[in-house]
Amino acid sequence: MSEFDQMYREVILDHYKNPRGHGLLEGADAEAEGQNPLCGDEVSIYVAFGEDGETIDEVKFSGRGCAISQAATSMLTELVQGRTATEVAGLSRDELLDEIGIPLTPVRLKCALLGLSTLKLALHKAKGTSLPQEWAGMADDLDLK
């Protein structure tokens, strides 16, 4: 393993052990639950918007799952803070995968995208933002509600 991969692995482990944005948000403006049916792991995401009703003021998550799913969701909360619902609806999965930084197998990819899929769904439910077409296959594989 290269030093570079090692560094990314340590960052992932740190997010897993000390997740940012972990917890519940009472009275959230947007929320959704997502489950990865391959393993049963799940995350719930809660969003509070700022005064403009568009900008993400606070985002929290709860759930249980593998290190990749939980660390990726933790990274996601930092990534989307202060962005608008529309911007996050258009956020490419590559932006999150770049944060994760290590190559992932297809199975691991589903783990990594569980939080982002759930967040996009929460925004879709609350704001009617689009679920991009590239996600259609992925969304079918994830059990979202």
**CB neighbours of residue 72 within 10 Å:** 28
Cβ 142 vs Cβ 69: under 8 Å: no
Q: Which of 120, 83, 79, 85 is nearest to 97 (CA)?
A: 79
Under the criterion CB under 6 A, does residue 109 sit at the interface with ligand FES?
no
Question: Rounded CA gap, 26 and 23, in Å?
Answer: 10
Under the criterion CB under 6 A, does residue 47 sit at the interface with ligand FES?
no
Stretch that binds ligand FES, among 19-27, 61-69, 74-82, 127-135 (CB under 6 A): 61-69
Question: Rounded CA gap, 75 and 55, in Å?
Answer: 18
Least distance CB 92 / ligand FES (angstroms): 20
Which residue's CB atom is positioned nearest to ligand FES?
A: 111
Q: How many CA atoms lie less than 13 Å away from 2 in the CB half-sphere?
A: 6
Amino acid type, 63: G
Nearest residue (CB) to ligand FES, 73 versus 84: 73
Cβ 138 vs Cβ 117: under 8 Å: yes
Please count the residues of this chain forming the interface with ligand FES, following the rule CB under 6 A. Answer: 9
Contacting ligand FES (CB under 6 A), which of 41, 56, 60, 61? 41
Nearest residue (CB) to ligand FES, 54 versus 143: 143
Stretch that binds ligand FES, among 6-14, 54-62, 66-74, 126-134 (CB under 6 A): 66-74
Give the binding site for ligand FES (CB under 6 A). Answer: 36, 39, 41, 65-66, 68-69, 111, 114
